[in-house]
Amino acid sequence: MSRFIRLAVVVAFLSSLIAHGQVLTTAEAKDRIGETATVCGTIASKTTATSSRGTPTFINLDQPYPHQVFTVLIWGSDKAAVGTIPETGRVCAKGPITLYRGVPEIVVHKSADLYVPTLSNDKRYTNSDGQSVHSPAYTNGGPPAGATALCNDGTYSFSQHRQGTCSHHGGVAKWL
């Protein structure tokens, strides 16, 4: 692929991130109260308070109660609009970050506000140890599970060795 086409793909990807706001980890979100962003994390627990007024569902990301890092709240009246709520894995929530009882949260109202992040490709390569490794990929949800580095072109690398990591992607911007 020519450098111009790669640059156009990177610009389009970064533009889509800007259009949809920032993508933050749950740890970064605690310092961004009042901002609108996308926060991504791994589901630690999911609870529906059936005896509470409004029947809220709480999705705690990255650490279970009482040490939550971040909570996604879905009110019972919004559950149909949100759709299926995952039980496990990584999720992303979009919206204003608020603080409730010392825990940052996003209240989700529609399906576009809660999603499972995806990678831009399913390609793999065999590394020098003979192991199958996911090829560098873009994502719509922050660092994907297993990523070891963020490349300068915005892709995430899953390399098992530092030598050669992001070599076809402008080098390493940040080790994870």
Check which CATH number belongs to the domain holding 51 and give it.
2.40.50.140
Per-residue model confidence as pLDDT tens digits over 76-119: 999 999 998 889 988 999 999 999 988 899 999 998 899 998 99
Element (H, E) at 62: none
Helix and strand tally (H, E) in the chain?
3, 13
pLDDT at 20: 44
* Number of separate domains in the chain: 2
One domain, residues 76 and 151: no
In a domain, 1, yes or no: no
One domain, residues 29 and 89: yes
Per-residue model confidence as pLDDT tens digits over 25-47: 888 898 999 999 999 988 999 99
pLDDT at 4: 52
pLDDT at 18: 39
One domain, residues 74 and 122: no
Task: Identify the domain boundary among 68, 89, 115.
Answer: 115
Dist. CA 165–CA 156, nearest whole Å: 10
pLDDT at 66: 61
Residue 8 has pLDDT above 80, yes or no: no
In a domain, 128, yes or no: yes
- Within 13 A of 88's CA, how many CA atoms are on the CB side? 1
Cβ neighbours of residue 23 closer than 8 Å, sequence gap 6 or more: 17, 37, 38, 39, 40, 92, 140, 141, 142
Is residue 71 within 8 A of residue 105, CB to CB? The reply is yes
One domain, residues 41 and 104: yes
pLDDT at 27: 85
Environment class of 142 (CB within 10 Å of its CB; exposed 0-12, middle 13-18, buried 19+): buried
Per-residue model confidence as pLDDT tens digits over 121-169: 999 999 999 999 999 999 888 788 889 999 999 999 999 999 999 999 9
In a domain, 17, yes or no: no
pLDDT at 24: 86
In a domain, 66, yes or no: yes
Residue 11 has pLDDT above 50, yes or no: no
pLDDT at 75: 94
One domain, residues 70 and 82: yes
Dihedral through CA 35, CA 115, CA 40, CA 125, nearest 10?
-140
pLDDT at 141: 82
By DSSP bridging, strand 70-74 and strand 103-107 are parallel
In a domain, 16, yes or no: no
pLDDT at 21: 56
pLDDT at 17: 42
pLDDT at 105: 94
Residue 19 has pLDDT above 70, yes or no: no
CA-wise closest residue to 13 among 134, 118, 165, 114: 118
Structural domain of residue 133, as residue ranges? 118-176
One domain, residues 52 and 110: yes
Buried b (16+ CB within 10 A) or exposed e, 28-63: bbbeeeeeebbbbbebbebeeeeeeeeebbbbbbbe
